[in-house]
Homo-oligomer: A and B are copies of this chain.
């Protein structure tokens, strides 16, 4: 029997491989290459430029962690969110479940949205909600030119190479700062501290230059390199969670809200040197 596998190379010397039933799509867009696989163990799997973005089975970890944590760190219950990236709709969907009244989602690549509509309809259905405004455009330009204010800004991007490179630096964070309401927060995915310390360093040092308080939290995501992922969150003013009952999801809960900020020593050392 011929077996077909999709492999993500973490380096020249390490790869994770998923056995696939079929490749359902491969498209080169103006920005990147998108592939869609039907896997045996993880359901549908979306890659961008060969790196796993989401799978049916474990997308919940990433989407809960990039939304629920900032949700509890705004001073008042947040109502307006800006998502940069996130064309699959997963972040917007989770925010809708939290009662947000307005969500602006700026995705640079319309094809990501189209692919998600076709293969992840439960996520992309968020874009059919009248509370969500989907803008196909450049998040960096948007951050520079918009004058709307948001309680939560979520940078749900690919890694800091290619189209997402400009989303990991001081200039961009300055633009973001102007979009954040009083005591609002920004969060960015910031890569695997083990294999991509540079993504975390870029996000952390860039935010440090612009915001008053910057904190890193982590989550376990089995289909991402090393299984260990970081998020970097910042605010003008001190970050502390609201004193209210915390919702339990599939991964996230009140314990995770606290524990995800407790960093292994090698991550603390990495941040100290940043």
Contacts and interface: CB of A to CB of B under 8 A. Distances in A.
Interface of A: 7, 11-19, 39-42, 61, 194-195, 218, 220, 222, 226-228, 248-253, 255-256, 258-266, 268
Copies of the polypeptide in the assembly: 2
Given A14-B18, A222-B227, A258-B262, 19 more contacts: A12-B40, A13-B18, A13-B39, A13-B40, A14-B17, A14-B41, A16-B17, A17-B17, A61-B264, A220-B220, A220-B264, A228-B228, A251-B264, A252-B265, A253-B264, A255-B261, A255-B268, A256-B265, A262-B262
A228 B224 CA distance: 12
Of A13, A18, A226, A256, most buried by chain B (CB within 10 Å of CB) is A13
A107 B15 CA distance: 32
Contacts of A258: 259, 262
Contacts of A194: 220, 222
A41 B227 CA distance: 16
Contacts of A19: 12-14
B227 A253 contact: no
B251 A256 contact: no
